[in-house]
Structure 1
């Protein structure tokens, strides 16, 4: 038994008001109750929070929390992670209660990306009500979405997620962003958990960004809600990282925008749902079927046209 799904993320920030505006007024998540003093919970479903934003001196992605089946699975994974030479720290009962889990441990992958693994996830009967009218987010067995991290030591980090943690390969491409035949390209690994989401984690062969994360993804229920969120982004003057488009590998329709923490948030809908047991890994040659013009591409085009 491997990882069930992405359960929650933890972010530290000196821009708590900016995060509140972004999460509630732009993304449309619901403010949660019970966060420790000075921090904030944001929910997208029946879990008390999916985003925990807490005060810090700098903008930093702290951890992605992934769920495993039970206490025995958690102990087995902890032993495997420690045997692989990664640091392991048990969370206290008080820390577990704040997270809404039975137990968890902290660690990091070989590239230094922050991780938590837990079992015993909490749910409640509080109805999700978006402050801006989002119909809802797709979660359930597929978890809150996905996280994408940088891994300059790509092969080592890929091996960790596949052979130590238990994620399985979905799409293993090497993207080339120039016509230079000497361009080595950039390796990517899109990996699925024990659910139908195309990938619950992905890593890219690139330097670590200051934020500690490349992007997170949330799935909305309708194209209309994705479009309305795009309008809210523009109205709030949130930097657009990539225009509307559709990916090749997971078929998600959506866009990317920059969070107050410096990493991106992908908002999408209508993705491919896989059978995690029978899926045969692919290796697509390009990231997007159409659209997804990135901000750096726009800047380069403007520079070349000047």
Structure 2
């Protein structure tokens, strides 16, 4: 059984119009045909969609959906998840058709974060054309990017993703964000699927948030695309969550911005490609080589300067 990639995400929102402008005017994604159930779909490559935006009265990431390598693997995985005492809800044919998959089921991790697993993947016969002239997004065998979740019960969630689902440890750091020796810090697990992307999923030892997501990540093909997206973010008045910087573990150069539903979207480039078969887990001591000044850090600095 192999987890191939992060295939798509499902977002519930009462701000579908805001999401439309955000995806097309800021991110540079392409609107796809409206789904049979009225949800809005957005593309960043040749897949029928990578973002599924569903009307709701809540703001949250409903599911990060991961592709497995076969129908047999999908059935096996469903059994393992049920044995781990997590609910499994199989989707019907209509739901599978809407998603461009052959079969899928929904579940959640021990922290309640939404997941889907599926087999089969449909491609569009229409070429991807960014409305903002983004030269392209790095997807293909690497999947659409990665998702990061809060995991208050860190050890239980880590074991679920590693032992039950089948993700593999890439980096297991313990970050401390202050000089206080009493600061307990936060453990993280960056985990890869069976491809060269450094991580398709990560969890952090932190309280759960209402959006059921810390951030999603999209990788663009070059730094010029990233810089232009940063300019579009500023021009549209979108809140910057973290300034441009380079991560230490996956070497991604990029920035973070708020989505209309409250969680963050990381836009980056030049990410490290690993050999998933031979990689040995690391434990980096800090999140970034440089940059990535977070909005909460700026707020603290401004408060201190005022005082």
Q: How does 1:92-171 map to 2 (within 5 A)?
A: 92-171=92-171
Partner of 1:279: 279
Task: Name the structure 1 match of 2:43.
Answer: 43
Paired residue for 2:300?
Answer: 300
Distance 1:276 1:247 in 2: 19
How far apart, in 2, do the equivalents of 1:125 and 1:46 lie? 8
Cα distance in 2, alignment partners of residues 150 and 37 from structure 1: 30
Query: SS state of the match for residue 122, structure 1?
Result: coil
Shift of 1:181: 1.2
Alpha-carbon separation, structure 2, partners of 1:34 and 1:240: 29
Alignment of 1:75-94 (within 5 A): 75-94=75-94
Note if contact 1:146-1:199 (Cα within 8 Å) is conserved in structure 2. Answer: yes
8 Å CA contact 1:2–1:165 kept in 2: the answer is no
Query: Partners in 2 of 1:268 and 1:113 — Cα distance?
Result: 24
Alignment match, 2:2: 2
Residues 171-213 of structure 1 show CA distances to partners (whole Å, capped at 9, x for unaligned) of 0000001111111110000000000000000000001111110
Between the aligned partners of 1:284 and 1:207, the Cα distance in structure 2 is: 22
> Displacement, 1:123?
1.1
The CA deviation at 1:2 is 2.2
After TM superposition, the score normalised by the length of structure 2 is: 0.99
C-alpha separation between the residues in 2 aligned to 1:126 and 1:173?
Answer: 42
Distance in 1 separating the partners of 2:65 and 2:130:
23
Q: Corresponding residue for 1:261?
A: 261
* Partner residue, 2:31: 31
- The aligned counterpart of 1:177 is 177
SS in 2 for 1:134: coil
For 1:59, the equivalent position in structure 2 comes to 59
Match of 1:291 in 2: 291
The answer to whether the aligner puts 1:217 opposite 2:217 as a matched pair is yes
* Equivalent-residue separation in structure 2 for 1:124 and 1:36 (angstroms): 16
Please name the residue that 1:11 is paired with: 11
Q: CA RMSD in A?
A: 0.7
Instruction: Give the total of aligned pairs.
Output: 306
Cα displacement string for residues 144-177 of structure 1 (whole angstroms, at most 9, x for unaligned residues) = 0000000000000000000000000000000001
User: What is the DSSP-based 3-state SS (H/G/I as helix, E as strand, rest coil) of the residue aligned with 2:276?
Assistant: coil
Question: Hey, what's the Cα distance between the residues in 1 that align with 2:172 and 2:151?
Answer: 14
Structure 2, unmatched stretches of 5+, are: none
Question: Alignment partner of 2:67: what SS?
Answer: strand
The alpha-carbon deviation at position 125 of structure 1 amounts to 2.4
After TM superposition, give the deviation of residue 129 of structure 1 in Å: 0.3
